[in-house]
Structure 1
Amino acid sequence: MERALVVGGTRFIGRHTVAEFLDADYDVTILNRGRHENPFADDPAVDHVEGDRRDRETLEAARRRVDPDVVVDCVAYFPKDVRVATDVFADVDAYVYVSSGAAYGAERVPKREGDTALASCTDEQATTDSRETYGPRKAEGDRAVFAAAADGVRAMSVRPTVVYGPYDYTERFAYWVDRVQSFDRVVVPGDGLSLWQMAYVEDVASALRVVAESGTAGEAYNVGDEHAPTLGQWVDLLAATCGTSVETVGASERDLARAGLAPEDFPVYRDPPHLLSVAKLRDLGWSSTDHETALDRTVAEHRENDRTGREYGPDRAIERDVLDALAE
């Protein structure tokens, strides 16, 4: 049985990655600080090493204890994290870095690996933990992967676009699930044609395994849903999943401004469009889950755990003011 070490592993992408490798008959170990509930605590098939992944000695101890064949790095948020990890795990069969579609520095539709430019990253950005530096840091992490591969490490990168699915603690997508379940009229910024490609979390996990097993050292692989609905279409898909009837009401930037809102205040709104080509990953045999299945699982978990995402989008009272103004 092959051994996989998942750095992270208890919350969202990491949790599904552990399940993915277990289903593929790997012996799995989690490495994290133990600050979040471990859903695999009672599973004898999953071992746990506690420690700070930013501490080199912790990584070296995990390497000695686990002797992994595969390392999936879900929580490398700084370029130095990737450089240290690819050095410590230089001899593994596969090191897979969870990067991001935010690593791209040019607006292209679609964005393609090796074609669309990555974001630049200054020395200051590389060590600054902020929303504004996230994409540059991920891009510099990608460059660290490429450098490691040039030195003989079988290191690869997977770039998800914005991820949704069960156990999504960010609750960005839960905002729209809640709106569709709770109200018969909802505001959608603009004309509903905002396009921010999503990635179902189980598909991200399967992409990580497929790349570990079949990817090429020094390469990056985009991952996202193969069909990318617009924001208005997502509302319709969720209504079908929830069995509700919802009227989407488009509100222009001016309409929203009257209520003190901007289009960017709504989760998963983006202008310009963000679409990643997944052809390279498909060539490895990967495919995405159909939306009906993905949304059934997502909505069921959000309902079970009362995820609403209300704090991540406009308050309903303000949204109602917009709806009333547009009805006049």
Structure 2
Amino acid sequence: MRLLIIGGTVFLGRHLVAQALTAGHQVTTLNRGTIYLEEQASVERLLADRNGDLSFLQGREFDAVIDVCGYHPESVEHSIRALAAAVKNYVFISTISAYGDFTEIALSEESPLKYTPFGEQGDYGSLKADCEKVLTQMMPERFLIIRPGLIVGPYDPTDRFTYWPARFACGGKVAVPEKLDRQVQFIDVRDLAAFILARTEAEAHGIYIATGPIDRLTLLDVLDACQRAAKVDSEMVRVEEAVLLKADVTPWSELPLWIPDTMKHFAGVMRLDRRKAVAEGLVCRPIEKTIADTLAWDRTRDPALPRQAGLSPEKEAELLRQPKLKQKLGRAPLPGAGLT
């Protein structure tokens, strides 16, 4: 297939390009050219601002465009106008943040979205919903929308998952949330890329929630796996939710995958209905593989560079000095590692 990928050099786009090339597709990328990747030397690169003059696309033909970085509805509308006559299918990567009410459990593709109110400034989720609306109105028979959950894996610039395997690799006492039985969802970027390409190759239309990795996974499952992958002596220390909140620990950011009870409006953010995507071929690798590969990639990074998520060593040390810490969990300690 002749694929045009808008973006293509940072995270999901980078993996999409790599997998598309491996599959034998003819790949063209459209981006500002601020990042050059040697691995994409064979890719045709169209260097442009997606909000600028796109008249050079006139006369070009692609089987599909995959818009990885569409964020503002005006930008998506501009791209659609430039490409409507050039592509058979417009694939838009949205987000589960487009949903308006996470107090509900098992949100599906049919659940209502949160659009930006007229005259107001939208947030990430509502702007993505606005982008979806533009696409479905302008190309009603030729759209494919993917709504991923938290995307994790190698080259993740956010560190919202990487923090945990990297932290356990440092050893010692690791501050973790008190309630570890909560369900979590995320998707390995490579599994997401594979699903997007498979649906694109099938010329599929419609909307899919894409998250995983299995139907029932707890935070403890993830932390256990991170602890094993690190192969370093470490000890999980559970910190009461009230202590975390009093210390102004930011959920999701400073403690990735943690949503406290007080944030009831996010109760369903990691409990979405993923059955449609699974029925259409979404396959997620074991979390152990995701964690091992993420840790291996993280070890190639400059340790002096600041990380974008996770507790600072100083803040974690202060938390561990608090008196209200939970005792041993009802689970046997791992070899060389304690659970307290």
TM-score by length of structure 1 reads 0.87
Asked whether the 8 Å contact 1:188–1:231 carries over to 2, the reply is no
- How far apart are the structure 2 equivalents of 1:314 and 1:300? 20
1:85 is displaced (CA, Å) by 2.4
Asked whether the 8 Å contact 1:96–1:211 carries over to 2, the reply is no
What SS is found at the alignment partner of 2:10?
coil
Q: How does 1:303-314 map to 2 (within 5 A)?
A: 303-306=299-302, 310-314=307-311
Q: 1:322 to 1:27 in 2, by over 3 A?
A: same
Counterpart in the other structure of 1:103: 98
2:318 to 302, 321, 324: 321
1:122 is displaced (CA, Å) by 2.0
Counterpart in the other structure of 1:4: 3
1:256 is displaced (CA, Å) by 2.2
What SS is found at the alignment partner of 2:65?
strand
1:145 is displaced (CA, Å) by 2.4
1:145 to 105, 111, 135: 135
- How far apart are the structure 2 equivalents of 1:248 and 1:149? 51
2:153 to 165, 185, 201: 165
- How far apart are the structure 2 equivalents of 1:124 and 1:266? 34
1:88 to 82, 87, 111: 82
Asked whether the 8 Å contact 2:159–2:310 carries over to 1, the reply is no
1:306 is displaced (CA, Å) by 4.0
Counterpart in the other structure of 1:30: 29
- How far apart are the structure 1 equivalents of 2:39 and 2:56? 21
1:99 is displaced (CA, Å) by 0.1
Asked whether the 8 Å contact 2:108–2:272 carries over to 1, the reply is yes
Counterpart in the other structure of 1:61: 56
Counterpart in the other structure of 2:298: 302
1:31 is displaced (CA, Å) by 0.7
Counterpart in the other structure of 2:39: 40
Asked whether the 8 Å contact 2:94–2:145 carries over to 1, the reply is yes
What SS is found at the alignment partner of 2:224?
helix
1:327 is displaced (CA, Å) by 7.0
Alignment root-mean-square deviation, CA: 2.3
1:290 is displaced (CA, Å) by 1.9
Q: How does 1:167-186 map to 2 (within 5 A)?
A: 167-186=155-174
1:75 aligned partner, one-letter code: C
Structure 1 unaligned spans of 5+: none
1:52 aligned partner, one-letter code: D
- How far apart are the structure 2 equivalents of 1:295 and 1:173? 9
Asked whether the 8 Å contact 1:196–1:273 carries over to 2, the reply is no
Identity %: 28
- How far apart are the structure 1 equivalents of 2:201 and 2:257? 32
Aligned length: 313
What SS is found at the alignment partner of 2:281?
coil
- How far apart are the structure 1 equivalents of 2:76 and 2:197? 18
Say which structure is richer in helix: 1
- How far apart are the structure 2 equivalents of 1:168 and 1:99? 17
Counterpart in the other structure of 1:112: 108
2:208 aligned partner, one-letter code: Y
- How far apart are the structure 2 equivalents of 1:287 and 1:35? 33
Q: 1:309 to 1:124 in 2, by over 3 A?
A: farther
- How far apart are the structure 2 equivalents of 1:281 and 1:39? 33
1:141 is displaced (CA, Å) by 1.4
Counterpart in the other structure of 1:21: 20
What SS is found at the alignment partner of 1:304?
coil
TM-score by length of structure 2 reads 0.84
1:322 is displaced (CA, Å) by 1.7
Q: 1:291 to 1:262 in 2, by over 3 A?
A: closer
1:20 is displaced (CA, Å) by 1.6
Counterpart in the other structure of 1:225: 212
Asked whether the 8 Å contact 2:195–2:281 carries over to 1, the reply is no
2:30 aligned partner, one-letter code: L
What SS is found at the alignment partner of 1:169?
coil
Post-superposition Cα deviations, 1:184-224, rounded to whole Å, max 9, x if no partner, equal: 3211123123444111101111121122123543x211111
What SS is found at the alignment partner of 1:317?
helix
Asked whether the 8 Å contact 1:253–1:263 carries over to 2, the reply is no
